[in-house]
């Protein structure tokens, strides 16, 4: 008999798991099995949650809603949250931002090209030679902004950062092929992000096109075509013959009109990074989609860990523009680093403030990385400390045929080492993508790739999330590594104990000896025969032995907190004022 559970219209994965009394990982796994890639902090809608609940024997019923508005908070994009304070009277309509999703080869690129060629603002025919990741078209005197980044990557990246950029999703489904895995994935993404979907039924020119079959399939996925009494607009198009494009654009405007697509052009400038790259001659070029306020050339922008004063701004035609309002994409020059796609950007007062924000973010990231780092070694260490109950692995391999033997081998290693539980929580064929990283991050797992690649965006995300990715092409190397790590864990280990900290106040060159650091001991003590670590802005620049320790010209064995001293480091002379010293000992444990 199933138990009843009340669920809100949207619920975080963690919350959902808690309410059912199950582990979030199990919930994430069930979501994945149902084609929804969600991390522990993401929000799923009621229908999705109900499916998962059913899998665990719960009958989900909608929770009584007193405040339907706040129930959606989990998926309110970050940029929207940041402009929540804009006054109602200041908000004006802005062009809808559209993203095109769909299965590979169903015609996303062709459709984007067809729209661009047939509808670019008049007088510009054939004018767009630039590709900046977004463009605009005009329809009935109104503008529509298209995100021109192929695939789900950009959309997923944005969602991963809570920065959902699109107001409408156009789902391309080839009429001759029907609903495919990536179609489902796209639907799941759009639904979870609460973005309305319009279906572009593409390739209707093909003789074997079967629109009715596709409509049936869509109906099964709760995208019931409006002509069948549902509320999903399905527009037949041919990207190749450029038919149906006008209808598609009209439908987009129709859907946009029923959504609240507004912003304050005079308000706080905020938006999303669409793409960015490092150009050898021009430096960092980033495409920014303004979502509120008006971005002006010369503004100082912070985007994630990147910042800078804008030196030039161009529209999607490559035309220099002095400013860009809500929903306008611009490619900009002037940022000092390449920001990640999907990152939120903001305008700040001056470069000093910008640098300060970036520094704070770097610091926070470092702390997060050191505390949540999930390298194989660290995981074993934490396992040993009793923090983790099992070692979790996520496995991606090139073919199904190699997945099975690897899982078997890993299970064998697990069996041989009774002390440690090793578990492959998810295994799948294909390259390592952002979803894998998100899952690994959520479940504190290590990602293992076998004969596959890790996508660039996935690597970036892994770095930011502190997820360890290990690549192998030979099975025994993989199992050997795991075995080694297990053994290393079981062997006696040295644990480190920090006994003192000091600041470098001055650096003196001493002939023959090299550099001596004049330090003040802040904490504990420095000991001549202990080890020393030198940190610079958080980075470790040296780790090793002390070559000399002096207090007022006397060689001493230790110097305590409050005192000053001269420290020489063995074979290391690149010491700078402001560096921090950490004196530590290694003690045998286990």
Q: Which of residues 459-488 bind ligand GDP (CB under 6 A)?
A: none
The strand pairing partners of 271, in sequence order, are 290, 345
How far apart are CB 458 and ligand GDP at their closest, in Å?
20
For residues 235 and 198, is the Cβ–Cβ distance under 8 A?
yes
Run of H or E including 171:
strand 168-174
- Given candidates 52, 239, 270, 302, which one binds ligand GDP under the rule CB under 6 A? 239
For residues 1 and 62, is the Cβ–Cβ distance under 8 A?
no
How far apart are CB 428 and ligand GDP at their closest, in Å?
21
How far apart are CB 39 and ligand GDP at their closest, in Å?
26
Q: Does 102 bind ligand GDP (CB under 6 A)?
A: yes
> With respect to ligand GDP, which residue has the nearer C-beta, 187 or 575?
187
For residues 276 and 295, is the Cβ–Cβ distance under 8 A?
no
Angle at 585 between CA 579 and CA 589, to 5 degrees: 140
- Given candidates 48, 99, 182, 238, which one binds ligand GDP under the rule CB under 6 A? 238
> With respect to ligand GDP, which residue has the nearer C-beta, 142 or 240?
240
Report the alpha-carbon distance of residue 475 to residue 203 in Å, rounded. 43
For residues 575 and 517, is the Cβ–Cβ distance under 8 A?
yes
Question: Residue 313's CB: how many other CB atoms inside 10 A?
Answer: 23
For residues 273 and 341, is the Cβ–Cβ distance under 8 A?
yes
For residues 434 and 16, is the Cβ–Cβ distance under 8 A?
no
What is the β-pairing status of strands 270-279 and 283-292?
Answer: antiparallel
For residues 5 and 58, is the Cβ–Cβ distance under 8 A?
yes
Q: Please identify, among the stretches 82-90, 128-136, 198-206, 455-463, the one whose residues bind ligand GDP according to the rule CB under 6 A.
A: 198-206
How far apart are CB 256 and ligand GDP at their closest, in Å?
23
How far apart are CB 110 and ligand GDP at their closest, in Å?
3
User: Residues 60-99: x/- map of binding to ligand GDP (CB under 6 A)?
Assistant: ----------------------------------------
> With respect to ligand GDP, which residue has the nearer C-beta, 206 or 528?
206
Q: Please identify, among the stretches 58-66, 234-242, 289-297, 413-421, the one whose residues bind ligand GDP according to the rule CB under 6 A.
A: 234-242
How far apart are CB 146 and ligand GDP at their closest, in Å?
13
- Given candidates 203, 392, 444, 527, which one binds ligand GDP under the rule CB under 6 A? 203
User: Residues 31-60: x/- map of binding to ligand GDP (CB under 6 A)?
Assistant: ------------------------------
- Given candidates 104, 372, 510, 586, which one binds ligand GDP under the rule CB under 6 A? 104
Report the alpha-carbon distance of residue 374 to residue 559 in Å, rounded. 36
- Given candidates 26, 205, 525, 543, which one binds ligand GDP under the rule CB under 6 A? 205
What are residue 583's phi and psi, to 5 degrees?
A: -95, 130
- Given candidates 136, 164, 183, 202, which one binds ligand GDP under the rule CB under 6 A? 202
Q: Please identify, among the stretches 28-36, 70-78, 235-243, 346-354, the one whose residues bind ligand GDP according to the rule CB under 6 A.
A: 235-243
> With respect to ligand GDP, which residue has the nearer C-beta, 114 or 469?
114
Around 328, how many Cα atoms within 13 Å sit in the side-chain half-sphere? 19
> With respect to ligand GDP, which residue has the nearer C-beta, 166 or 447?
166
How far apart are CB 209 and ligand GDP at their closest, in Å?
9
The CA R_g of the chain, rounded to the nearest whole Å, is 28
Question: Which has the closest alpha carbon to 279: 305, 314, 304?
Answer: 314
Sequence-separated (6 or more) residues with CB below 8 Å from residue 541: 534, 535, 574, 579
Q: Which of residues 105-124 bind ligand GDP (CB under 6 A)?
A: 105-110
> With respect to ligand GDP, which residue has the nearer C-beta, 206 or 423?
206
331 three-class SS: strand
Sequence-separated (6 or more) residues with CB below 8 Å from residue 577: 504, 505, 506, 507
> With respect to ligand GDP, which residue has the nearer C-beta, 180 or 224?
180
138 three-class SS: strand
How far apart are CB 240 and ligand GDP at their closest, in Å?
4
Q: Does 30 bind ligand GDP (CB under 6 A)?
A: no
- Given candidates 80, 184, 194, 206, which one binds ligand GDP under the rule CB under 6 A? 206
Q: Please identify, among the stretches 117-125, 201-209, 354-362, 473-481, the one whose residues bind ligand GDP according to the rule CB under 6 A.
A: 201-209
36 three-class SS: coil
Q: Does 152 bind ligand GDP (CB under 6 A)?
A: no
Report the alpha-carbon distance of residue 181 to residue 272 in Å, rounded. 28
Question: Which has the closest alpha carbon to 359: 375, 348, 372?
Answer: 348
How far apart are CB 238 and ligand GDP at their closest, in Å?
4
- Given candidates 139, 194, 213, 240, which one binds ligand GDP under the rule CB under 6 A? 240
> With respect to ligand GDP, which residue has the nearer C-beta, 35 or 150?
150
For residues 75 and 222, is the Cβ–Cβ distance under 8 A?
no
| Separation of first and last alpha carbons in the chain | 49
What is the β-pairing status of strands 445-450 and 469-472?
Answer: parallel
Question: Residue 258's CB: how many other CB atoms inside 10 A?
Answer: 9
> With respect to ligand GDP, which residue has the nearer C-beta, 39 or 251?
251
- Given candidates 41, 51, 142, 150, which one binds ligand GDP under the rule CB under 6 A? 150
Q: Please, is 221 exposed, middle or buried when counting C-beta atoms within 10 Å of its C-beta (0-12, 13-18, 19+)?
A: middle
Q: Please identify, among the stretches 49-57, 102-110, 319-327, 409-417, the one whose residues bind ligand GDP according to the rule CB under 6 A.
A: 102-110
What are residue 16's phi and psi, to 5 degrees?
A: -60, -45
> With respect to ligand GDP, which residue has the nearer C-beta, 189 or 527?
189
Residues that bind ligand GDP (CB under 6 A): 102, 104-110, 150, 202-203, 205-206, 238-240
């Amino acid at each position: 008999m199933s138990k009843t559970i009340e669920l809100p219209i949207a619920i975080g994965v963690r919350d959902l798991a808690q309410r059912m009394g199950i582990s979030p990982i199990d919930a994430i796994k069930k979501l994945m099995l149902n084609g929804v890639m969600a991390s522990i902090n993401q929000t799923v809608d009621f229908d999705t949650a109900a499916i998962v609940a059913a899998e665990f024997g719960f009958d989900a019923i909608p929770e009584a809603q007193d405040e339907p508005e706040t129930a959606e908070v989990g998926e309110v994009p970050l940029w929207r949250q940041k402009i929540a304070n804009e006054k109602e009277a200041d908000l004006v309509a802005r062009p809808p931002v559209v993203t095109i999703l769909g299965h590979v080869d169903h015609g996303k690129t062709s459709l984007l090209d067809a729209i661009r060629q047939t509808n670019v603002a008049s007088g510009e025919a054939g004018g767009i030679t630039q590709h900046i990741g977004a463009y605009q078209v005009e329809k009935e005197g109104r503008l529509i902004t298209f995100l021109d980044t192929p695939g789900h990557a950009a959309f997923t990246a944005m969602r991963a950062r809570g920065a959902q950029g699109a107001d409408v999703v156009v789902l391309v489904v080839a009429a001759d092929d029907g609903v495919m895995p990536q179609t489902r994935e796209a639907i799941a993404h759009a639904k979870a992000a609460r973005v309305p979907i319009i279906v572009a039924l593409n390739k209707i020119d093909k003789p074997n096109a079967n629109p009715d079959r596709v409509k049936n399939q869509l109906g099964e996925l709760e995208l019931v075509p409006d002509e069948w009494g549902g509320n999903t607009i399905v527009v037949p198009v041919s990207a190749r013959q450029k038919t149906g494009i006008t209808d598609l654009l009209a439908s987009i405007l129709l859907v946009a009109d029923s959504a609240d697509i507004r912003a304050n052009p005079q308000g706080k400038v905020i938006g999303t990074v669409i793409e960015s790259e490092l150009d050898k001659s021009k430096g960092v070029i980033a495409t920014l989609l303004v979502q509120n306020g008006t971005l002006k050339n010369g503004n100082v922008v912070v985007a994630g860990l990147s910042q800078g004063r804008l030196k030039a701004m161009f529209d999607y035609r490559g035309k220099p523009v002095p400013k860009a309002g809500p929903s306008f994409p611009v490619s900009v020059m002037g940022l000092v680093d390449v920001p990640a796609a999907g990152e939120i950007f903001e305008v700040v007062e001056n470069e000093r403030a910008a640098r300060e924000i970036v520094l704070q973010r770097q610091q926070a990231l470092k702390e997060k990385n050191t505390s949540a780092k999930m390298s194989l070694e660290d995981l074993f260490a934490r396992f040993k400390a009793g923090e983790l109950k099992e070692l979790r692995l996520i496995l991606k391999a090139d073919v199904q045929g190699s997945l099975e033997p690897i899982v078997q081998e890993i299970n064998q290693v697990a069996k041989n080492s009774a002390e440690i539980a090793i578990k492959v929580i998810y295994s799948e064929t294909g390259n390592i993508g952002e979803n894998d990283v998100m899952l690994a991050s959520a479940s504190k797992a290590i990602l293992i790739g076998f004969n596959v690649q890790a996508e660039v965006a996935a690597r970036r995300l892994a770095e930011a999330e502190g997820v360890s990715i290990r690549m192998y092409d030979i099975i025994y190397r993989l199992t050997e590594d795991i075995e080694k790590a297990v053994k290393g864990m079981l062997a006696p280990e040295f644990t480190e104990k920090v006994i003192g900290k000091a600041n470098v106040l001055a650096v003196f060159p001493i002939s023959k000896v090299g550099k001596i650091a004049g330090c003040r001991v802040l904490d504990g003590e420095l000991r001549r025969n202990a080890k020393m670590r030198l940190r610079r802005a958080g980075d470790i620049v040296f780790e090793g032995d002390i070559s000399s320790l002096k207090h007022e010209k006397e060689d001493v064995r230790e110097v305590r907190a409050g005192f000053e001293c001269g420290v020489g480091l063995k074979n290391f002379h690149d010491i700078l004022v402001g560096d921090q010293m950490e004196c530590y000992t290694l003690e045998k444990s286990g």
